[in-house]
Amino acid sequence: MYMTSGATAIWVAIATVFVTAVMTRVVRARTKHDSVSTRAPPPVVKCGSVIGLFYTMFSKGFRAMIQDQYEKLGSVFTISFFGPKVTFLIGPEVSGHFYQGLDSEINHGRILEFTVPMFGKAVGYGVDDTTRMEQYRFQFEALRPSKLKSNVALMLQEVEDYFAKWGPQGMVDLKQELSQILMLIAGRCLLGKEVREMIFGEVVTLFDELFDNSTRLTSVLFPYAPTLATYRRNRAQTKLSELFTEIVRSRKCSKRVEEDVLQSLVDSQYNNGCPTTEEEVTGMVMSLIFAGKHTSTGASTWTGACLLSHARWYEAAMEEQEQIISKYGDQVDYNALQEMDILHRCIKEALRMHPSALVFLRRVQKNFVVRTKDGIEYEIPRGHTIASPVLYNNYIPYIYKDPDVFDPDRFRPGREEDKVGGKFSYTSFGGGRHACPGEAFAYMQRKAIYSCLIRNFELELVSPFPETSWQKLIPEAKGKVMVSYKRRRMPRT
Ligand code: HEM
């Protein structure tokens, strides 16, 4: 399925690349260049062709635009956006350095600078590379599957309680419902008991205000401009910081130990033995919520839409739940979630077809060489922005058979198209150095939700299969996704 409109997201990406590239160029104007290239640079989309490229993008969609250039120029090509150069790397063969390169050689550049006033100067892009990599390690540790085990019971409880409030039958906007339940799960498992039980409503409102006022095009490009959005973002950030600082301080003082992600961050230690500060914990936990909120809602909505519009897979997932019940009874736990193989593959396939971004972007800080699958080598110069178009890569036909078909079996043992295709064939969660630390958590919460829904309700997608809306940085299902439900009791096989 090709997208036919990606205007806003594409313009946000282009504008971001343009501004950051110009700014970086000014800073670098007097710095030395790397040693003389020995290999050819990638082929460039000619100036006149850029107009045609935009025409294809807006009339036929992003995938069609990349496909055109891929056919003409191969898997590595540069588009010059009236000055700044963006080099596209298509396919896993040329993506290794993009995902695995050192931050000193390839990084997010200034693209994520807008996150500094969101999460504070003590974390992420407010600190030096070494500190930031240590903080990523803390987040990875906190979200490791083995650590999450203790969170699954809490997650399942939130899910059961939420859907217990649905009536015997009715109709809901799935997107809206999922957004609420996912925030409740995040509240309990990431932010902790204090937030979930005492100030949940206030925190949710503040997060909404923080995110809405930070991700507008103007706020991304000019994060410190004296606008109303900046004022509201700062107000929400200050209030959230105060609330979390108090919680972290109270945990530290009382020596109380909880089994949530917040606690792991509180207990983390830098290599030099220093513990994390209140400000750092607050910034890290806020960045986790930001990174996980819309991505999880989007992915969960697409899972529902795909599952409910493919009867064969909906029935297969139902049969799997019957088997789970006959083995575990109604006490679904971590082990039961791990055994939901069909559901897992449906979730993974939905995210292959509907990833949370068009492209991932980085800045080249040091020239590097890529080798295409046909053996051609190109040198990508410092200063280029490089783009890994996940939306295109997830549909490459020599990796994914019939890529436009929803086929969760492509991931089953014996086929495993993503593994056969090589490392970085499936990058819906990124990969390498900046791989998503929330992947295991995200799978668990989607399995917990759909396991509960399939076991307790007959579901039907009432509205048409949603189109993709590109109005925000993270693409999502357009409009309401209406689902009818009828409560039922699932038989034990
Ligand atoms: C289905 C849901 C999710 C999807 C599709 C997703 C996707 C991604 C992707 C593609 C990246 C890498 C972006 C890049 O390379 O530029 C990423 C990074 C990240 N994700 Fe997720 N994510 C999801 C859920 C979560 C959750 C639930 C959390 C936290 C609890 C989380 C935390 C993060 C963080 C902190 C990063 C930054 C890692 C870094 O830059 O080193 N994500 N995510």
pLDDT at residue 124, rounded to an integer: 94
What is the Cβ-side half-sphere exposure of residue 210, based on CA atoms within 13 angstroms? 28
DSSP string, 148-203: HHHHHHHHHHHHHHHHHTS-SEEEEEHHHHHHHHHHHHHIIIII-HHIIIIIHHHH
**Residues tagged in the binding site annotation for heme:** 436
Residue of 295, 354, 433 to test ligand 1 pocket, by largest number of atoms within 8 Å of CB = 295
Binding site membership of 436 for ligand 1 (Cβ less than 6 Å): yes
Confidence grade of residue 17 (pLDDT, cut at 50, 70, 90) = low
pTM for the whole thing?
0.91
Name the residue at shortest CA distance from atom 37 of ligand 1: 436
Please classify residue 126 by burial: count the beta carbons closer than 10 Å to its beta carbon, then call 0-12 exposed, 13-18 middle and 19+ buried.
Answer: middle
Reply yes or no on whether the pLDDT at 471 is more than 80: no
Name the residue at shortest CA distance from atom 35 of ligand 1: 288
Distance from the CA of 437 to the center of ligand 1, in angstroms?
6
State the Cα–Cα distance between residues 415 and 412, nearest whole angstrom: 6
pLDDT tens digit string along 389-430? 999 999 999 999 999 999 999 999 999 999 999 999 999 999
pLDDT tens digit string along 295-347? 999 999 999 999 999 999 999 999 999 999 999 987 899 999 999 999 999 99
Which of ligand 1's atoms lies nearest the C-alpha of 296?
Answer: 2
Helix (H, G, I), strand (E, B) or coil at 394: coil
Q: What is the number of residues in the chain?
A: 493
Residue of 436, 449, 450 to test ligand 1 pocket, by largest number of atoms within 8 Å of CB = 436
What residues does 379 pair with on adjacent strands? 369
Q: Which string of b and e fits 286-309 if b means at least 16 CB within 10 Å? A: bbbbbebbbbbbbbbbbbbbbbbe
Binding site membership of 394 for ligand 1 (Cβ less than 6 Å): no
Reply yes or no on whether the pLDDT at 479 is more than 50: yes
Which of ligand 1's atoms lies nearest the C-alpha of 435?
Answer: 12
Portion of the chain with pLDDT greater than 90, in percent: 76
Reply yes or no on whether the pLDDT at 18 is more than 60: no
Distance from the CA of 343 to the center of ligand 1, in angstroms?
21
H or E segment at 78? strand 76-80
Name the residue at shortest CA distance from atom 9 of ligand 1: 429
Reply yes or no on whether the pLDDT at 493 is more than 60: no
Confidence grade of residue 19 (pLDDT, cut at 50, 70, 90) = low
pLDDT tens digit string along 223-245? 999 999 999 999 999 999 999 99
pLDDT tens digit string along 67-123? 999 999 999 999 987 778 899 999 999 999 999 999 999 999 888 899 999 999 999
What residues does 378 pair with on adjacent strands? 370
What residues does 486 pair with on adjacent strands? 169, 458
Binding site membership of 434 for ligand 1 (Cβ less than 6 Å): yes
Binding site membership of 75 for ligand 1 (Cβ less than 6 Å): no
Reply yes or no on whether the pLDDT at 181 is more than 80: yes
Binding site membership of 120 for ligand 1 (Cβ less than 6 Å): no
pLDDT at residue 148, rounded to an integer: 85
Q: What are phi and psi of 477, to 5 degrees?
A: -65, 135
Distance from the CA of 136 to the center of ligand 1, in angstroms?
11
Binding site membership of 356 for ligand 1 (Cβ less than 6 Å): yes
DSSP string, 13-33: HHHHHHHHHHHHHHHHTTSPP
pLDDT at residue 442, rounded to an integer: 97
Binding site membership of 96 for ligand 1 (Cβ less than 6 Å): no
Confidence grade of residue 28 (pLDDT, cut at 50, 70, 90) = very low
Which of ligand 1's atoms lies nearest the C-alpha of 99?
Answer: 15
**Residues tagged in the binding site annotation:** 436
Binding site membership of 264 for ligand 1 (Cβ less than 6 Å): no
Q: Tell me which amino acid residue 26 is.
A: V
Which of ligand 1's atoms lies nearest the C-alpha of 357?
Answer: 10
